[in-house]
Amino acid sequence: MMERYDIHRSIPAILLALMVAATIFYAFVEVGFGEPEVDKEDSVSNRFISNSTQETGSSNFVTAVVVNYRGFDTLGEVTVLFLASAGMGAIVSALPAGDKRKRPIPPSLILTAGTRLVLPLIILFGAYVFVHGHLSPGGGFQGGVIIASGLLLYIVIFPEWKAPHKALALSESLAGLSFAGIGIIGLAVGGIFLDNVISGLGEAGMLVSAGLIPLIYIAIGIKVGAEMTGLVARMKGGDA
Amino acid sequence: MTVDPVLLIVIPLVAAFLVPMVSLFSRKIASFIPLLALLAMGGLAGHLLLSTGDTAVTSTTGGFDPPWGISLVVTPLGALVSAMMIFVGIFVSLPSTAKVGKGYELWYNVFVMMTVTGGVGMVITGDLFNLFVFLEITAIGATVLAVLPRDGETKGLNWRGAASYAIISSVASFLILAAIALLYGATSTLNMAQMAQRAGDIPSFVAGTAFLLMFVGFGIEAEIFPLNGWAPDVYRGSRWGTASIFSGVVGKAGLIALLRIAFIILGPAIGGTFPADLLMWAGLATFIVGEAAAFTSKDLYRMLGFSSIGAYGLILAAFASGSEMAIQAGVLLMLGHMLAKPILFSMIDRAGAGKRGDVTLSDLEGLGRRSTMSGVLFVGAALAMLGMPPSPTFWGKVMLFSSAGTEGQWALAVIVAFGTLLEAGYMGRLIWKVMSPAKEERKVELPVLRLLPGLVALGLIMLIGIQPALLNDVLDRAAEEFMDRLNYIDWGGF
Amino acid sequence: MEVTELVVYGSILLLAAVGIWGILSRRNLIKLILSLTILETAVNLLLVSVGYISGRSAPIVNGDTGLDGSPIGEIVDPLPQALVLTAIVIGLATTAIALIVAVGYYRSTGTLELKSWSYGLTNEKEVRK
């Protein structure tokens, strides 16, 4: 079908959109871009910048904030992703029947052999990224997404492959429980949920350092990898 | 010793993570997990309500004091509203526990529990970005709930409602996120108490923009006119439990969040009466439009949905009208609505059980004769909604009128009186139909798991209606929370 | 005005305007979801730019110095970067749910047009089947 666009009918929408965007934009100019807010005496981030390596043992400050200072947000974030993945499963089972899909064209040898070759490397790289989340850019979410992107490649190349939803659900569950469990250990030992009780362990900058942060990021990495794979596989359909 | 309120969030999260694992072994056992978690949360919320007393119960996470770590600030009002939300959750999930039919039946209760958790988190968190995270938990849970279809055919209406809600709630959350970014830029903190303390640092243009963004964002969640276009579709196509959750949890959480941000952070930053005026008039408009639309609705789910929209409007207007007594009235109205609405939705579901398409007035005919207890519950809840004594709504309306009289807000009094007349019109019609003789002799089944929570809710309504003094402390603290931001700043530890 | 500033300011304004315009004027679910992700990008960009400080490096240390050899302390604000990480993941989750709901809507109604959307601001003619 052809859509017809009458320019005069889109004027109100364009004006409204410009007005809202301009208001947000002007407020942002008022707040200021590139100004050293953190140097203000009373800024929250001051402590993150000057103390986080000592306090958490993490060389990556963003990781220190994500997993330690604001770990509770991250637990919520993991929950959101869990809900999306579980919700997708529930919705897929409520979907009305769709059209029969055509059989896809079989992929060539280069694609299948190449995929088999790079898939382990992608997964290894993903694991590397989440294990080193406290040292270098990246972390559990990024690593998990890298793993899922490898499996996305696999799903595209081998459309007949059925995702092992049970195994994915199990690893999702276990990883989520270990994240919450680490938090509860903090509550039981120090009386504070998600307290990094062994932050002093190891030397900053080394792989074994930053206490519980790498453990949490490994759990997140596995969880995100499993959930994203599940999401992609469900989107492909056919194996609810 | 007070139990750490963080458990209010951790228990359901652990429960949710457990479900996929346990369901691999036994779906029957897994179906009990959400209910057990909700019961534990209920006990905890009751404990917190009793131990808040004069101040708030706080908790820190991550091992760092606020503002560096995220803190929870359970104010007395927060504890009361959390307990009510959890009650709605238990009310909804009791009848569907232990049902393992289609693939999604097991997940229905999990999403009820998580939506309630999101709502509770929004009410008790002391951190602005954490509020956003909980908002998203609520929104995703509610979207999935809106999809899961009723037993009867609804002509794909569930998909339509869910699609509208999925889009509009995402818009809402991005607008709120933009406001949070601006506020962080202006105050370099995310802790709400500290932000309130620094309200003076926020440039007034930034504060105004953030306020409008928050108003639109949370207004969408709280079904405020004219941002509630999605709501009728959701109510019309969803299960009774989903409708109860939308009217009792999702919007209530949005409303409390909006009020807290408006009164404690942004109102003082903007200055003047503009924020309160906008909220009050938006509330009154929502009330009238909602009640009028309910008056003309044919489908009962839609009618009660509009009635919820009206109730949201009335509560918002009461909170925003500015006097101590009106805020207390707002709390009572909220209580009355959260207790009575699930009963009505539950009974409508009974009346229309097994029916395809809309449930209309004629399906209600003779409900009281076909099942005495259903009739008692329905009529009791409808009268309580309307504000017949003994009910919290009665006291709420009396206090709202007397506050309007003292403050000279005649427009408020007239509009509320007119809206109440409209409400009496359609509620009266419903009650009439329920009491009239039955044309068909089809029995209405009322399983004990439906009857029991209904009776408890009705009992609570009457208890608060007869003995409103029980809530005096909480009501006083609620008024303190909104009348003077120094209280919240103090409770939050600054 | 520096180039960085111009690019950041311009992108936020443009992306936000396009996203909001799309949400207001489209009623096709897929286009709505696209507009949503555009708006999300604008907001995420806004959020991460709030923490940017001119001339400073990434918030990671390598031993005693920053990644580019700058002294410790000369880094940008790490908090908004942490927030935006959370916001991106959440945005992904909402997009995924919206897409699967769109699939269900299409299968049950045979169309992707969301009726009664866009409050009359649309310029798309309603398609009748």
pLDDT tens digits for range B145-180 = 999 887 766 667 788 889 989 999 999 999 999 999
Convert the pLDDT of each residue in B222-253 to its tens digit.
888 888 888 888 888 888 889 999 998 999 99
Residues 6 or more apart in contact with residue B50 via CB below 8 angstroms: none
Query: Would A175 be classed as within a structural domain?
Result: yes
CA angle B266, B270, B271 (to 5 degrees): 115
DSSP lists the bridge partners of residue A60 as: C60
Render each residue's pLDDT in chain C as its tens digit; 129 residues. Answer: 577 778 888 888 899 999 998 888 888 899 999 999 999 999 999 888 887 777 777 777 766 666 666 666 677 788 888 899 999 999 999 999 999 999 888 888 888 887 655 444 444 444 443
CATH of the domain at C88: 1.10.287.3510
Query: Would C65 be classed as within a structural domain?
Result: no
| Residue C76: exposure state from Cβ atoms within 10 A (0-12, 13-18, ≥19) | buried
Query: Would C40 be classed as within a structural domain?
Result: yes
CA distance C47 to chain B (A): 5
A77 vs C104: CB contact, 8 Å cut-off? no
pLDDT, average across residues B30-41: 90
Tokens of B100: 């393992």
B107 vs A45: CB contact, 8 Å cut-off? no
A83 vs B111: CB contact, 8 Å cut-off? yes
CA distance B377 to chain A (A): 32
With contact defined as 3+ CB pairs under 8 Å, the chains touching B are: A, C
User: Does B418 contact chain C (CB < 8 Å)?
Assistant: no
Domain membership of residue C98 as a residue range: 3-56+77-127
B-C Cβ pairs (cutoff 8 Å, strict): 95
Query: Would A204 be classed as within a structural domain?
Result: yes
CB contact at 8 A, B249 and B134:
no
Whole-angstrom CA distances from B15 to B76, B114, B402, C41 are 26, 10, 46, 33
Provide the pLDDT confidence category of residue B36 given band limits of 50, 70 and 90. very high
Residues 6 or more apart in contact with residue A197 via CB below 8 angstroms: A185, A186, A189, A190, A211, A212, B63
Q: Tell me whether 0.95 is exceeded by the ipTM.
A: no
Query: Would C71 be classed as within a structural domain?
Result: no
DSSP-assigned states of every residue in C60-110: BEETTEETTSPBTT-B--HHHHHHHHHHHHHHHHHHHHHHHHHHHHHHHHS
Mean pLDDT, chain B, integer: 86
Tokens of C80: 């908004």
Q: What residue type is B78 in one-letter code?
A: G
User: Does C49 contact chain A (CB < 8 Å)?
Assistant: yes
pLDDT, average across residues B66-72: 85
3-state secondary structure chain A: CCCCCCHHHHHHHHHHHHHHHHHHHHHHHHHCCECCHHHCCCCCHHHHHHHHHHHHCCCEHHHHHHHHHCHHHHHHHHHHHHHHHHHHHHHHHHCCCCCCCCCCCCCCHHHHHHHHHHHHHHHHHHHHHHHCCCCCCCCHHHHHHHHHHHHHHHHHHCCCCCCCHHHHHHHHHHHHHHHHHHHHHHHHHHCCECCCCCCCCCCCCCCCCCCCHHHHHHHHHHHHHHHHHHHHHHHHCCCC
Q: Say which of A23, A191, A193 has its CB closest to residue B10.
A: A193
Q: Say which of B140, B159, B229 has its CB closest to residue C94.
A: B140
Q: Say which of A23, A72, A195 has its CB closest to residue B70.
A: A72
Query: Would A22 be classed as within a structural domain?
Result: no
Chain A residues whose beta carbon lies within 8 Å of the beta carbon of residue B103: 89-90, 93-94, 240
Whether the upstream peptide bond of residue B67 has omega within 30° of 0, thus cis, is yes
CA distance A150 to chain C (A): 18
Q: Which is more confidently placed, B53 or B436?
A: B436
d(C-alpha B262, C-alpha B320), whole Å: 10
Chain A residues whose beta carbon lies within 8 Å of the beta carbon of residue C2: 34
Q: Which pLDDT score is estimated for A238?
A: 53
What is the phi/psi pair of residue B276, to 5°? -65, -40
User: Does A6 contact chain B (CB < 8 Å)?
Assistant: no
Query: Would A13 be classed as within a structural domain?
Result: no
CA distance B185 to chain C (A): 6
Domain membership of residue A231 as a residue range: 60-95+111-240
Taking alpha carbons only, the member of B154, B209, B161 closest to residue B183 is B209
DSSP lists the bridge partners of residue A65 as: none
DSSP-assigned states of every residue in B200-213: GGS-HHHHHHHHHH
DSSP 8-class letter at C128: P
CA distance C125 to chain A (A): 7
Neighbours of B151 (CB within 10 A): 13
Our count of domains for chain A comes to 1
Convert the pLDDT of each residue in B99-149 to its tens digit.
766 667 788 889 999 999 999 999 999 899 999 999 999 999 999 999 988
CB contact at 8 A, B29 and B22:
yes
Q: What residue type is A119 in one-letter code?
A: L
d(C-alpha B283, C-alpha B274), whole Å: 14
Residue linked to tokens 């869910």: B162
With contact defined as 3+ CB pairs under 8 Å, the chains touching A are: B, C
d(C-alpha A52, C-alpha A62), whole Å: 10
- Residues within 8 A of C (CB atoms), B 195-234 only: 229, 233
User: Positive or negative, the Cα torsion across B218, B219, B221, B227?
Assistant: negative
Query: Would A220 be classed as within a structural domain?
Result: yes
DSSP lists the bridge partners of residue A193 as: B61
d(C-alpha A98, C-alpha A20), whole Å: 39
Helix axes B157-187, C29-50, angle to 10 degrees: 10
Percent of chain B, pLDDT > 90? Answer: 30
B57-60 vs B71-74, strand pairing mode: antiparallel
C105 vs B163: CB contact, 8 Å cut-off? yes
Chain B residues whose beta carbon lies within 8 Å of the beta carbon of residue A184: 10, 14
A44 vs B67: CB contact, 8 Å cut-off? yes
What is the model's pTM?
0.93
Residue linked to tokens 């045979």: C110
d(C-alpha A238, C-alpha A151), whole Å: 17
Neighbours of B441 (CB within 10 A): 8
CB contact at 8 A, B372 and B347:
no
Q: Which pLDDT score is estimated for B406?
A: 86
Q: Say which of A5, A49, A87 has its CB closest to residue C73.
A: A49
DSSP 8-class letter at B321: T
Taking alpha carbons only, the member of B11, B14, B16 closest to residue B47 is B11
User: Does C12 contact chain B (CB < 8 Å)?
Assistant: no
DSSP lists the bridge partners of residue B71 as: B60
CA distance B76 to chain A (A): 22
Our count of domains for chain C comes to 1
Q: Say which of B163, B182, B185 has its CB closest to residue C101.
A: B163
User: Buried b vs exposed e over A164-179: b needs ≥16 C-beta within 10 Å?
Assistant: ebeebbebbbbbbbbb
Interface-testing mutation among A49, A51, A141, A206, with chain C (most C C-beta atoms within 10 A):
A49
Query: Would C66 be classed as within a structural domain?
Result: no
Q: Which pLDDT score is estimated for B254?
A: 92
Chain B residues whose beta carbon lies within 8 Å of the beta carbon of residue C33: 167
CA distance A151 to chain B (A): 21
Chain C residues whose beta carbon lies within 8 Å of the beta carbon of residue A59: 60-62
Query: Would A29 be classed as within a structural domain?
Result: no
Tokens of B168: 């509009």
Tokens of B390: 């003994």
User: Does C76 contact chain B (CB < 8 Å)?
Assistant: no
Q: Which pLDDT score is estimated for A120?
A: 93
d(C-alpha B435, C-alpha B243), whole Å: 24
d(C-alpha B39, C-alpha B45), whole Å: 10
User: Does A50 contact chain B (CB < 8 Å)?
Assistant: no
DSSP-assigned states of every residue in B145-200: HHHSPPSS--TTHHHHHHHHHHHHHHHHHHHHHHHHHHHHHHHS--BHHHHHHTGG
CA distance C31 to chain A (A): 13
Tokens of B191: 């802790």
B140 vs A75: CB contact, 8 Å cut-off? no
Query: Would A200 be classed as within a structural domain?
Result: yes
Q: Which pLDDT score is estimated for A204?
A: 65
B164 vs C117: CB contact, 8 Å cut-off? yes
Convert the pLDDT of each residue in B311-321 to its tens digit.
999 999 999 88
Taking alpha carbons only, the member of A92, A4, A59, A93 closest to residue A204 is A59
Chain C residues whose beta carbon lies within 8 Å of the beta carbon of residue A91: 97, 100-101, 104
With contact defined as 3+ CB pairs under 8 Å, the chains touching C are: A, B
Q: Which pLDDT score is estimated for C118?
A: 42
Tokens of B77: 């009002």
Convert the pLDDT of each residue in B346-368 to its tens digit.
888 888 776 777 777 777 777 77
d(C-alpha A95, C-alpha C100), whole Å: 9
- The chain B residue lying nearest A189, using CA atoms, is B63
CA distance C7 to chain B (A): 19
3-class SS at B264? helix
H or E element that contains B73: strand B71-74
3-class SS at B89? helix
d(C-alpha B136, C-alpha B118), whole Å: 8
Q: Which pLDDT score is estimated for B100?
A: 67
What is the phi/psi pair of residue B70, to 5°? -90, 135
Convert the pLDDT of each residue in B426-448 to its tens digit.
888 888 888 888 776 667 777 88
Q: Say which of C4, C24, C93 has its CB closest to residue A84.
A: C93
Render each residue's pLDDT in chain A as its tens digit; 240 residues. Answer: 445 556 666 788 888 888 888 888 888 888 776 665 555 667 777 777 777 777 777 777 888 888 888 888 888 999 999 999 888 888 888 887 766 666 667 888 898 899 999 999 999 999 998 888 777 788 888 899 999 999 989 888 887 777 788 888 888 888 888 888 888 888 887 777 777 766 666 666 666 677 778 888 888 999 999 988 888 888 876 544
d(C-alpha B276, C-alpha B281), whole Å: 9
Taking alpha carbons only, the member of B431, B451, B437 closest to residue B370 is B437
C65-66 vs C61-62, strand pairing mode: antiparallel
CB contact at 8 A, B56 and B74:
yes
CB contact at 8 A, B250 and B115:
yes
User: Positive or negative, the Cα torsion across B394, B399, B400, B404?
Assistant: positive
